[in-house]
Structure 1
């Protein structure tokens, strides 16, 4: 327990150093750079530590204290005394010890140039075998302790004594009233008191991330309203705002927003540094690190597109901001990569929950799509983050659900069949929708235009459409609410669906940043409404109103587009809060998912496509048999081969064994290079001795075509060779060729890589 406490306190000191030193330091053992190089500048810096009586635990010769210009040498007392009180208590940074730059190995002394201390000149003696700031021998370790005056000091523990020593690299001493230091101190104390495990701690961090993610979502939503007010003097629904504008404003506003979005996006690409800004990649294949500056610029680009009428969802940037905030929290608190990825997943779940008022669906979205599996160790913190985010959103003034769902009617008898038909239709339409978006992206990329021009062109095309139909603006949730509560003519729904598809393709294809989640729900609602209108017109007494099919169509189309039927079912169920919708919704979502997968292995998210591709490769590798790895055997001789032929074969091929077959190509055994060499060394008369006299029939390490990778590997481990002969079967040992160990290991490597 004591060792863990020392580690926590050392972790605390390093974290304070990284956050507040302001000198680009990287902890006690990392490199550091000073913005004020040179001893003279360091002396002039008032933030350097000044002791009243020299270094802690040192004795200063009285004769040397009066002349600060001279260099003095101090011997560190083994027991250590007490840290001298600091003069400048008001400074946030109480001091930094510079790195020792000269060592006198004859007297085992280290000099710290630039350390201007009253009564000392910066020389400290060390014992042989030890180094400042780290343990040089066994049984020596450094910990951080708090001494009198609220300062942190470095304490060396060894087998014989403990002493206060100078750190080899930067060590910043802080006041104990620093907020972050205090929070981390209490975190350590709570962990000790309640004996929290890592799983318990992640539940608490999930709650913190849920709160932060909700506020990130709220901030982005309010920023959209603020930008709308600045641009048009109106706020609220984009569709209502567009209807109240002049035709030329509807034409130019999306284009101007696209240009601004392109500028922000170009800046974001300039700041791209290795780590991907996409939260899905950061969780699924990365280390959880999401660049803050790049993410903020991309969010500003999305804000410009959404607020100016782009046909794109706003939930993408909301989730991205929540995930970025979680990544930032995890980095400043020094989470390791696995826990950091889980924390980012919690942030993504919090963002989606805040956007759609669906905590269960938000949790399953992350586990089903981003993580790709549901494990309780990761699912627990994600659920906590979703619940806390939803509670926070509900307490915020002006909160209202994104979709206002009507009461779902009861479904009886044969009407369930119509919902299965709706699932088939959505499964057929979903791949077409995704292919249309991909086609638009390819066409815009071929233009080779700069980002601002390309996004401006996409906005201009949306503006042209909005002159006649302003309802193509935005993500379409206000239009969906209108379909669910008011009767629409099927022609109006069809025209709006086609125009909305074009506007979404122009916006997404030009490269705009945003979510495609809500536009997908719009397309599903429109397809469901048209299908429901048709069946209700044919069977008015046996079917429900079209809005019921629109609700189920939203879930079915989302299930097919995202390859996540469970998430789609839970999301629509949470939106309606009606048990009546469960049965038709489940049938439609599952049918749509399988129909879409049978047509094309596409998905709305690239990470899902990659995971599906890896799963197929993994299944293919698991089903690999030796017949897939057989290569021709070149070192084969008949039973009648002479010793000269055998020797020539060994000279031509660098192998250990030559395979011997009979007249019918049945495997008989091997001739070993060792036996041939021994015969030559013993200078025996080989004459015309045939291969059968050198044959080793006890060589039974053979593989068969239907043998699995694991079985073949066991044979290779027993054989300790590079290749093994492959025969038709044990009863019918017809030689088919050889299997090389390198081919087997390559298949295993691919299998393990796909598993990870």
Structure 2
């Protein structure tokens, strides 16, 4: 197999240019990502039908409330103890791999997230399938690019092609797929990169349609007419969606760390699963992705929501005030349900929950306005659809993605103006409270990615451990200058680390420190190194981010700093020099400036 691949690669280099080969490979990525998207969704549907059995509604199934707990526990057991893989926010993992791992993704991610998310969502976890399938598509693109020996830029582009094809296939929305890749995944691409993205996205959609998945998630073709007088209400909806987005993001960052305080994975899964089960008892519509509830609202069947009434609303009638209370309760508890599912070890994303919250928020907003006005002033259908784009814009910080996804779902651009108003308003207001998206917030806080900072991104992609210089000759602290002279003759450097027998750095000595003493025969024999050595102005950890290292260089004014492994008994590893970092930075930048 390797020989065949090697022959093919030699043939390819001779007969197909890099640009043409990239385009061809984007089509292959589109097909594989499209098949994966269809396979995942159909698997989840089959699992849900199996659990539902002969019952009309899943909620009539005995003990259905235990399904989410079982799903999370199974996911944790398989991921932690069999796959040895940690799951979480999948899109964040993709961004981390592009930034910190040279766009190389583990081969196992081409299938692991599909299987784990099928279990989590199939058993009722309150998350979506979009992020796992995007991870799958991205991993397919990355691994194919690595197999074909493509460089960093083309590997990154293939990751974008995989993510675009996955979104396009799962929603049958090729334009939204391309925009998602540009807005969320790829921060810096050339104009020529649009062609592979377009091909991958369109091929992913065609693959989905060819396999008979005409409505993989949901689509809606009948909308009410838009009037310019509705603009003021859509501005209000945009602000409301922004608040929901900020609430969702902050609930996520409140719940997940507290679950992670439970160190035992099984206990964490059980705790999160039980809390999720309690929420589902209150509001069964939070079970799973929640698209059935959205479909009912979009079809003008708001009364159908009462079929999903929970414990408190089962015998409360079907009046408008009860409906408003139910929708408000769902808005408040859905972010907790999603955070509990992900934080306890489930596999899924926040893409579908964002759409779900947006649909509920839009319908609730229109219902309240109409109730106050005493007549139908706002179209609940239009506001539900536009609300989806609003919350997506606020949570993902991807307004164009929200606009075109809903435009494609509705089969036209009749709602383009309100989509633009709500998405822009939601994005602007949410940015006042949360500067970064839910995907990038933690990565930026940790210094793992730098948005809109090409220099910082390149600098932080450098690995300290690969830049450590070990050619500096060590001297014992008990040695005399006389004993050090042979080292001076042998060394090509003017810095000598003073290291004891246990491998700990005690200080450093430079040629300037001993220059005069070297020519005094008496002092040369009497002066001990530990009496003239001095402490370094700063130390570097081998896992430290390069931005922090450069800050230390700037603060101290030094050109060389020692590297100390604090996790391994403070062992001395060597030195890192500013000159070598600059050389590595320049080389990396030149490679990344090579356009696809």
Deviation at 1:374, TM superposition (A): 5.0
Counterparts of 1:232-631 in structure 2, within 5 Å, are 232-233=52-53, 241-246=57-62, 249-267=63-81, 270=84, 278-293=93-108, 296-373=111-188, 375-450=190-265, 452-485=266-299, 486-488=301-303, 489-539=323-373, 543-606=377-440, 610=444, 614-615=450-451
CA distance change for structure 1 residues 599 and 229 in 2, over 3 Å: closer, same or farther?
closer
Matched, 1:200 2:20: yes
Deviation at 1:438, TM superposition (A): 1.1
Counterparts of 1:106-185 in structure 2, within 5 Å, are 184=8
Q: Would the aligned equivalents of 2:72 and 2:344 in 1 still touch at CA under 8 Å?
A: no
Give the structure-2-normalised TM-score. Answer: 0.67
Q: Would the aligned equivalents of 1:268 and 1:297 in 2 still touch at CA under 8 Å?
A: no
CA deviation string 1:444-470 (max 9, x = no partner) = 0112232x3312332222223333532
Deviation at 1:384, TM superposition (A): 0.4
* Counterpart Cα distance in 2 of 1:205 and 1:540: 58
Aligned to 2:11: 188
Over 4 Å off, 4+ runs: 229-232, 615-620, 745-756
Q: Would the aligned equivalents of 1:438 and 1:509 in 2 still touch at CA under 8 Å?
A: no
Deviation at 1:320, TM superposition (A): 1.6
* Counterpart Cα distance in 2 of 1:361 and 1:294: 23
* Counterpart Cα distance in 1 of 2:402 and 2:96: 22
* Counterpart Cα distance in 1 of 2:452 and 2:195: 29
Aligned to 2:317: none
* Counterpart Cα distance in 2 of 1:618 and 1:474: 39
* Counterpart Cα distance in 1 of 2:219 and 2:263: 42
Deviation at 1:200, TM superposition (A): 2.1
Deviation at 1:196, TM superposition (A): 4.5
* Counterpart Cα distance in 2 of 1:599 and 1:278: 24
Could you say what the CA RMSD is over the residues aligned between the two structures, in angstroms? 3.7
* Counterpart Cα distance in 2 of 1:754 and 1:423: 40
Q: Would the aligned equivalents of 1:277 and 1:291 in 2 still touch at CA under 8 Å?
A: no
Deviation at 1:541, TM superposition (A): 6.1
Deviation at 1:256, TM superposition (A): 1.5
CA deviation string 1:393-439 (max 9, x = no partner) = 11213532522324222222331011011111112221121000111
Q: Would the aligned equivalents of 1:415 and 1:542 in 2 still touch at CA under 8 Å?
A: no
CA distance change for structure 1 residues 334 and 220 in 2, over 3 Å: closer, same or farther?
same
* Counterpart Cα distance in 1 of 2:370 and 2:81: 52
Matched, 1:225 2:30: no
Deviation at 1:545, TM superposition (A): 1.8
Q: Would the aligned equivalents of 1:419 and 1:587 in 2 still touch at CA under 8 Å?
A: yes
CA distance change for structure 1 residues 493 and 542 in 2, over 3 Å: closer, same or farther?
closer
Using CA pairs under 8 Å that are at least 6 residues apart, name the structure with larger relative contact order, 1 or 2: 2
Instruction: Give the aligned length.
Output: 448
Q: Would the aligned equivalents of 1:262 and 1:454 in 2 still touch at CA under 8 Å?
A: no
Q: Would the aligned equivalents of 2:75 and 2:345 in 1 still touch at CA under 8 Å?
A: no
Deviation at 1:295, TM superposition (A): 5.3
Deviation at 1:359, TM superposition (A): 0.9
Local SS of the residue matching 1:512: coil
Q: Would the aligned equivalents of 1:440 and 1:509 in 2 still touch at CA under 8 Å?
A: yes
CA distance change for structure 1 residues 356 and 284 in 2, over 3 Å: closer, same or farther?
farther
Deviation at 1:268, TM superposition (A): 6.4
CA distance change for structure 1 residues 200 and 356 in 2, over 3 Å: closer, same or farther?
same
* Counterpart Cα distance in 1 of 2:101 and 2:587: 18
Deviation at 1:613, TM superposition (A): 7.7
* Counterpart Cα distance in 1 of 2:82 and 2:109: 5
Local SS of the residue matching 2:27: helix
Deviation at 1:537, TM superposition (A): 2.7
Q: Would the aligned equivalents of 2:52 and 2:58 in 1 still touch at CA under 8 Å?
A: no
Q: Would the aligned equivalents of 2:396 and 2:439 in 1 still touch at CA under 8 Å?
A: yes
Q: Would the aligned equivalents of 2:255 and 2:336 in 1 still touch at CA under 8 Å?
A: no
CA distance change for structure 1 residues 434 and 339 in 2, over 3 Å: closer, same or farther?
same
* Counterpart Cα distance in 2 of 1:284 and 1:360: 25
Stretches of structure 1 that go unaligned for 5 or more consecutive residues are: 1-14, 20-26, 28-180, 621-720, 723-741
* Counterpart Cα distance in 2 of 1:542 and 1:751: 63
Deviation at 1:357, TM superposition (A): 1.6
Deviation at 1:484, TM superposition (A): 0.8
CA distance change for structure 1 residues 433 and 393 in 2, over 3 Å: closer, same or farther?
same
Matched, 1:215 2:17: no
* Counterpart Cα distance in 2 of 1:504 and 1:608: 18
